Amino acid sequence: MKRLFCTLIAVVFFAYAPGAHAGELEDGASAFIRALEKEAIASLTDSEKPRPERVEAFRKLFEEKFAVEAIGRWVLGRNWRRASEDEQREFLELFEDLMVVMYVDRFENYAGEKLNIVKTSPVDENRATVHTEIQRPEGVDGKPISVLWRVGRQGDIYKVLDVVVEGASMSITLQKEFASIVKNTGSVAGLITELRKKTSELNPS
Amino acid sequence: MRKPTCIFLLFLCMISVAGCATPPKLTDKEAYNEYLAENDPLEPLNRSVFAFNSVLDKTILQPAARTYRDQVPLWFRKRIGSAIDNLRAPVIFVNDVFQGEIDRALTTLVRFTVNSTFGLGGMNDLAAELGLEKHDEDFGQTLAIWGSESGPYLVLPILGSSNPRDAVGRVVDFLVDPFNAWAANTGRDELTYARTGVAALHARAGILDLTDDLEKNSVDLYAALRSIYRQSRANAISNGNVPGPDVSSAPVDFPDFTDSKEISGKP
């Protein structure tokens, strides 16, 4: 009888425990996105500094808030395993450069628009999706733009894993793009050449 | 009928010139699976049509859309947008019904009634202010709900990204549209052309920011748009209920954030 009681308590405990954790994950994830928005806009709209410095400040923030290496590795997909160690390293560097320039543009474009957090839903015990809307005067058809942030957690650290704009995932789109280039150029080296071209074109220095 | 015939002949020429993609050898299982998943056997042809469309877009549609966006006041563009949406309501209604979405069908019906009358011919979206938000449907989505597969990716001349299912959907939507039928029956075909032109201009202007971003940042614009088209269609078919694309496909096995040294090594 005592044993049964203990089992019952254990069952109840374990059944409720993840629920409590999930709520905490959701709160943590939406607070993380709120903070990210604030810091990103602060680092980019600091008119005291020249633009290259602002971009560098943003890069630091980006490295801290986005799981750049995890995303890069995932985006390269099956080609990651075919790449040499040097190629992997260079790919990740170029990938980060590309992402930084892309997101500098995006945050600058949206600075001043309101980012509303609509809701946050858990994906599993360590990942959550933060649903946000950006109200633009123009918008797509005057409707607010839907932006989902997929956030992962490890201990106390939260990082962005993917950004989904109007139903299109950045990571999936990049993965398809890169796979297409590897297919057409025949190798990861070909992709790296293309990325090098693109980043120097976007970042003339 | 002369113009469509010409375009069709041009299309046939392009097929014979560009031909099909060669699938990878069966022995490379991964490459072969990737080829199947890409579902784009006409890629070389699609890429040439895409290049042709890009030139048209850059030389005609984009400049027009930019002028429209920058010169026409926002309140006026909103009226145009609402009027275009309102004209589309009958088609949306039919597709709501076909998909068994009775609530959404009623929303569309009330929206059309309110906006066509009190909204002055649809120029004001009063229904949205009453809480009846607009939504879109088309026969391509209806076919998907009925279980039809999309088929391979297609880039149509002028019309852009599509697939056989959505192409059939476009034709059906055009045929069911009472406005087009009325225009054709009363010899006012130019109204259909005008409507199509204005709708295309308005829609293009609405996505200028997104396409500028893509054109600047993407490394393979064709592959990016192919993926985005598929993702946004999947999103539209599920009426946005599925949170975007399959969650499981986003980075799952993210490595340890805290130990970045580990990542640079070979997995």
**Every domain of chain A and the residues it spans:** 2-202
Q: Is A111 on the interface with B (CB under 8 A)?
A: no
The residue in chain A having the minimum alpha-carbon distance to the alpha carbon of residue B84 is A141
Q: CA–CA separation, B228 vs B231, rounded Å?
A: 5
Within its chain, how far is the Cα of B157 from the centroid?
14
Contacts of A142 in chain B (CB under 8 A): 78, 81
Size of interface A-B (CB pairs under 8 A): 156
Residues A52, B239: contact at Cβ < 8 Å? no
Beta strands in B185-232 (DSSP E): none
| Beta carbons of B227 and A173 less than 8 Å apart | yes
- Closest Cα of chain B to A17: distance in Å? 23
By DSSP bridging, strand A114-124 and strand A127-135 are antiparallel
Cα dihedral sign, B220-A41-B78-B68: negative
CA dihedral B62, B65, B71, B75 (to 10 degrees): -160
B78: nearest CB among A142, A152, A174: A142
- Copy the structure tokens of residue B54: 């890009």
Q: What is the pTM of this model?
A: 0.84
| Beta carbons of A78 and B34 less than 8 Å apart | yes
Q: Summarize the confidence of residues A162-184 as an average pLDDT.
A: 91
- Closest Cα of chain A to B10: distance in Å? 26
Cβ-proximal residues to A123 (8 Å cutoff; 6+ apart), any chain: A129, A150, B247
Contacts of B74 in chain A (CB under 8 A): 137-138
The interface predicted TM-score of the complex, written ipTM, equals: 0.82
What class does CATH assign to A2-202?
alpha beta
Using alpha carbons, select from B89, B153, B77 the residue that is nearest to residue B117.
B89
Contacts of A148 in chain B (CB under 8 A): 243-244
The residue in chain B having the minimum alpha-carbon distance to the alpha carbon of residue A180 is B223
pLDDT in tens, chain B (267 residues): 445 555 555 555 555 555 577 777 777 787 888 888 889 999 999 999 999 999 999 999 999 999 999 999 988 998 999 999 999 999 999 999 999 999 999 999 999 999 999 988 889 888 988 889 899 999 999 999 999 999 999 999 999 999 999 999 999 999 999 999 999 999 999 999 999 999 999 999 988 988 998 999 899 999 999 999 999 999 899 887 654 444 444 555 554 454 443 333 333
Question: Given this model, what pLDDT does residue B254 score?
Answer: 53
The vertex-B82 CA angle with B76 and B87, nearest 5°, equals 130
Mutate to test the interface with A, among B35, B50, B227, B266 (most CBs of A within 10 A): B227
Element (H, E) at B156: strand B154-156
Question: Given this model, what pLDDT does residue B246 score?
Answer: 44
